[in-house]
Each structure stands twice: as C-alpha cells, then as structure tokens.
Amino acid sequence: VAASIADVARRSGVSVATVSRALRGLPNVSPATRDRVRVAADELHYVADPNAARLAGQRTWTIGLVLPMLSTWYHSRLFEGIERAGEELGYDVLPYVVGGRERLRAFLADQPFRKRVDVLVVADVRLDEAVLADLRATGVPVLVCGMHVEGASSLRLDDRAATAGATRHLLDLGHTDIAVIGGLTDDPFDFAVPLERIAGVRDALGAAGLALPDDHVQPGDHRPESGERAMQTLLALRPRPTGVIALSDEMAIGALHAVRQAGLRVPDDVSVVGFDDHDVARHVELTTVRQDVVGIGTRLVEMLVAELADPAAGPRHEIAPTELVVRGTTGAPAGAAPRKHTAAVAATDPV
C-alpha cells in the first residue's frame, strides 16, 4: 500500500500542509524544512495521488485531443507533437477518437471529457457552429486544429493556397486536365478540410480558364486503398486526366499504384501530387505539399497554455506554413511543352 501525504508529514515531523507546499515548490517554506520533507518523501517513494490533487485543485492537467482516427500518419504525428510539448508542462494527453458518425454522436451526447480535461483540442473533426456552441456550453475551452471556426482559437494551414500552389505547379508543367482525390466521403470521416483544398484547385484552374468537373473529384478517406480506387475511376475517364492531386500522401501512394498497375507511367502519363510530406514520400519520389505536423502540435500546446492563462482574451487564429516539395512524380505530360518553370522549392534531403 502506497504512502500518503500524511505518512510523509509524520516522518518529516511537519504538517500535511507544509508537505504539500514543500513538494510543489511553493514559497514560504524554509529550505531546511523543504529538504527534510523531500528526503522523507523519497524514502517513502511518495507520489501525490493525481485524482485527489485534481479533485482538490480544480485542475485536471489533462489535454483532451479529439480526432477522427489515430493511425494515419498525420494524426499520429499530431498526437506525438502535442504529447511531447504537453508532457514538458505536466499535461497528460487523452485521445478521444470519434471517427464515424456513431462515435462522434456518442462523444457529443455523453461528453465524457467534462470534469476530465482542462481543454479540448479538436483536430479535423467537422464542427458546425451549433456543435461548437454545445461544446463551449460545457465550459471547457476548445481549440480547433485544421479549420477556421468563429468563437474558438484555431491553428490551420492555408489549405486553399496550398492546393492552389500545387495546381499551378501542374499547370506550369503543361497539364490542362487535372483531377482531385480525397473529396468528401460520407462516412466514416468528415473533415472540413477537403472543401478548402478543392476550392484551392478550383482557384488556380479558374485563373487559367479551366474548370474542375464533378467527375474529376473522387472521394477518399485517407487510406491508400481509397486512393487506389479513386485513381482507377479517374483512369477510366475519357479524356484521361494527366495531373492528379491527392489530398494526402497515403492516398497518393495508392493512386501511384493504380497508375502503374494500369500499365501507365509516372509522370509521363499521369503526374501525381500528394499532401503532408509523409515519412515515406521522399522514398517514393512523391511531389507533395509539406506541413510540419509535430510543429503544429507544439504550437497548439503553446496556444492552449495562453488561452488557459487568459481566458478573457479573444480567440486567436493562426496559419501554419506549407511548402511545395517537387520530386519525381510530377513532370510534363507526354507530348506537351511546359508553360514555364515552376517557382517551387526543390526537393532536398533532410540534413
């Protein structure tokens, strides 16, 4: 049976109040006393019971991370970034995986996070204003990652500009028939992000006098299989698109597979652009839009600390940078001359 604060108090000959102060580094404790207490605590292998501390202290020291899934590259990285930054400040990170309508509904209905976390980071989960209002009504501060929402601080990419840049890269190479993989799916995931990214493609296409037909936007759920299927559909189109933008690297890899299985070459017959700069992207020579996911996690923790420190301050909205990384899966379409050279960042090996 573990030692309690009373045991430490007895052993060091002081009161529990002093033990609490001494161990937490609060002022108004004489150095000598603090040492005695520390020694006693060590000898007894004492650690404060988090539940008791949280009950009395009114803080949970826990960050709730709401995300649609855990095992995609992007989400596991985000988790890692938040966990690392949070751990240094003494926060636990508790995942709430709400992929699929049912789990999201249950999460919103049961609100298992109440009295359980100090703050909620909602990543890539569609939150309309009503749902957000529900969340905020619980009194739990909410930060949003991946999209812009009124009434809550947010950190996101400029998704629209990012895919517009990727699209211009393809246009510059001479592509005129461009498609997108990763449009909205009904289930089990429901990001708001795809809309922005597709809008970005439309922006760039429109500026070049081109359109994005409906059949040029194929759904995908961020698993490679969905990218493969989407690409198969696109390859069956006549005329066949020569440039494809996948909204995640994982789908891009599935798409590449489909192209090669169809006996076509990359990039001669089809150019492919991904999104994320996944660990393996460099190793499959994938041109992609890079984002610093771990950095985003770190920044979210900083924002959340600021928010907790000054809840009165209004919501802050920040944009994390992206960067087009040109590798081998994009090139001029067979039989077309490039319009001009893309002013893109060249792929470089990480140092």
* By CB under 7 A, residue 29 contacts DNA: yes
The values of phi and psi at residue 135, to 5°, are -60, -45
What number of other Cβ atoms are within 10 A of residue 88's Cβ?
A: 10
Q: Locate all alpha helices (DSSP H) within the chain, ordered by sequence.
A: 5-12, 16-24, 31-43, 50-57, 73-88, 101-110, 129-137, 159-173, 193-207, 224-235, 249-261, 293-309
3-state secondary structure (DSSP) of residue 223: coil
C-alpha span between 86 and 145 (Å, rounded): 16
348 binds, among DNA, its own copies, none (CB under 5 to 8 A by kind): none
CB of residue 30 to DNA, shortest distance in Å: 4
CB of residue 8 to DNA, shortest distance in Å: 8
3-state secondary structure (DSSP) of residue 122: strand
Is residue 196 within a helix (H) or strand (E), and if so which, with residue range? helix 193-207
The values of phi and psi at residue 217, to 5°, are -120, 105
* Contact letters for DNA, residues 108-137 (x by CB under 7 A): -------x----------------------
* Residues listed for the chain: 351
* By CB under 7 A, residue 16 contacts DNA: yes
70 binds, among DNA, its own copies, none (CB under 5 to 8 A by kind): its own copies
223 binds, among DNA, its own copies, none (CB under 5 to 8 A by kind): its own copies
Instruction: List interacting residues with its own copies (CB under 8 A).
Output: 1-2, 45, 47-52, 54-55, 60, 69-73, 75-77, 79-80, 83-84, 87, 92-95, 97, 110-112, 114-116, 138-139, 223-225, 228, 250, 253-254, 256-257, 279-280, 282-285, 350
259 binds, among DNA, its own copies, none (CB under 5 to 8 A by kind): none
Binding site for DNA (CB under 7 A): 4-6, 13-18, 20-21, 23-24, 27-30, 32-34, 46-49, 52-53, 55-58, 115
